[in-house]
A and B are shown apart, each in its own frame.
Chain A
């Protein structure tokens, strides 16, 4: 169910994610026509959904700002606009990194750090310089389509340093949210982007897209314009249960970026090797950090530890299964154990009660299985 829209207010709007906007650094810009903005706000109001507005490098004319303020929204803008716009999510692109030094200490900013492949070796240093200056930090690794094994090795090294910095911060009593590390502490299911499921994007041309990445990649491939029911062909492929690699994975913090999937593997439901490995490096970092910090953070919430697994890419399991090298039952048990880990401490009685509440037919099927065995 669509819960919010992403509205690209300016063709030059900052990216906030893995896709690139080729127009971002161009001098001229082209605002979304006001009429399209009105339609967007109207649609959101009628369907009781919020809007994430993507800004370019400048403030908008007053009539635009008035329309924006009339609806539940979040502003996403480059960090350079922070002096003019106090509330929103701020994106640190490469030309914004010089602003980091000017940020005051705070625990309320929501930041997105977009880091190009060439600057991967600076990640830990940038992270350290940002500590104490945000409430939440999101990381987007750019140019993933060009990532090579040595880049992933470097990412692992950077994460190891960040792990130490983060541990010190938590032990000092600060609780920054770091999407690529701390989110996984609490997640028990996939927390993906869900483009096309929970949100759609409206571009300056007034057309709809799964996400801005698809618009900038090819504006011809739109989902159409505003309709009461928006049709997405093969929409089941957007969902986790139709992603053979992802549905067996517990790197729940992964964004499962459909745009990157499509770009690198050719299929919207299939991630590339580098996406999987990066997510698992993050997952494993979360696991180690969680184990190290348990005495500190346990009082806030009982956390479920993240078990060690012998792979960084869950595709290895799928491929082996298909090549008939692995016993299905054994692998099935292993995956089931991984995905159901948060439920391990539940009593059987409580678990069955929840099954009964959620799906009575499942309860019947369970009884049949038990009887057959």
Chain B
């Protein structure tokens, strides 16, 4: 946490494990899910795509064998779906295999790994999941997605029959926080969610989730006026955070002190999207540069397969993802933008919405939303800095 001498502390977000130097390998263990969330980018969820233990084992063997390709000192073995906990028994078997093989091979990863999950939380309390946590506790990281107030959560995160899932998720939150203190949640905001942003973030903090990572969807899902409403919500949230001194104990990723300024085309050219650095594996043993390039996740384009458990990783197929930078994908308008820093991109969204089958055409549907965020962010830090007597610089003029 940051503290200038004599100045009140401001809570900052917890850094990611191993400062982002870990390799993330994602097993898409199932394409099935109990929910039918309206904003879910997994447009092709189904009951058929289930990974076999054999496929997972082949993938693990390959990853452990190719040390010249996979040189990272740490690894995150991630399990995703659909809803991963639908396959907790399979995950348990895969995890046991991973641990044993890392040890048998005397692989450095044995001394630096995590099992990571992103779950809808519905099965968190079940025996299978709890046994798994008990067994692997020190190495497990679980994120439950709860989108805010019941009203907001149930707008999007619904069962196939349209019922909201909030009640079934929230009852597992206390257990989750008890087992994983200082956990964060990921909240996604689409157009209909905007009026509920402020109350939702406050609600999540009230539940004890002190770190809320929240982002707007990359898709072309925004209506005229959404940016103004979004800015109003964030401004109201800022006022509450400052008035009630919530900044001491809670964080919301919408507010970052260093964002919203122009970016240099050489020194600020780095690609921050991890596609290509992570590896995703589906039930057929196909490799993807990120889960969002798998068939069930794309709306308009064919999947991008960069290898297979049988043939290995095609390093040539990874080159575009690893060489993509800010300037090559961006329009001149983006490059000239005076509030560019902090404006996110997603290579899969680029690809899915591009005019051709390329990752080098930036999807810019979030442009107005980013500008609105910058204005609210500037407002927050300006007001907070004045209150705390901190120095601070308002960067850029987003209008």
Contact = CB atoms under 8 A, between A and B. Distances in A.
Partners in one complex: yes
Interface of A: 233-234, 237, 242-245, 264-274, 315, 318-319, 321-324, 328-329, 332
Contacts of B261: none
B328 A265 contact: no
Interface of B: 266-267, 270-271, 277, 304, 315-317, 319-320, 322-325, 328, 354-361
Nearest to B270: A322
Contact of A273 (B266, B319, B328, B360): B319
Contacts of B361: 234
A211 to B, nearest CB: 16
Contacts of A328: 266-267
Nearest to B266: A332
A270 B315 CA distance: 12
A234 B317 contact: no
Contacts of A273: 315-316, 319
B69 to A, nearest CB: 12
Given A234-B358, A244-B328, A270-B323, A265 B266 contact: no
B359 A234 contact: no
Given A242-B328, A270-B320, A319-B322, A234 B360 contact: yes
19 contacts: A234-B356, A234-B358, A234-B360, A234-B361, A237-B356, A244-B328, A267-B359, A269-B328, A269-B360, A272-B316, A274-B316, A315-B322, A319-B322, A322-B322, A322-B323, A323-B277, A328-B266, A329-B267, A332-B266
A315 B323 contact: yes
A265 B316 contact: yes
Contacts of A242: 328, 360
A365 B346 CA distance: 32
Name which of B304, B317, B328, B354 has the most chain A CB atoms within 10 A of its CB.
B328
Name which of A265, A266, A315 has the most chain B CB atoms within 10 A of its CB.
A266
A244 B267 contact: no
Given A233-B356, A267-B319, A322-B322, 7 more contacts: A237-B356, A242-B328, A271-B319, A272-B316, A274-B316, A322-B323, A328-B266
Contacts of A324: 270
A357 B386 CA distance: 50
A280 to B, nearest CB: 15
Given A322-B270, A332-B266, A267 B358 contact: yes
Contacts of B316: 264-265, 272-274
Contacts of A329: 267
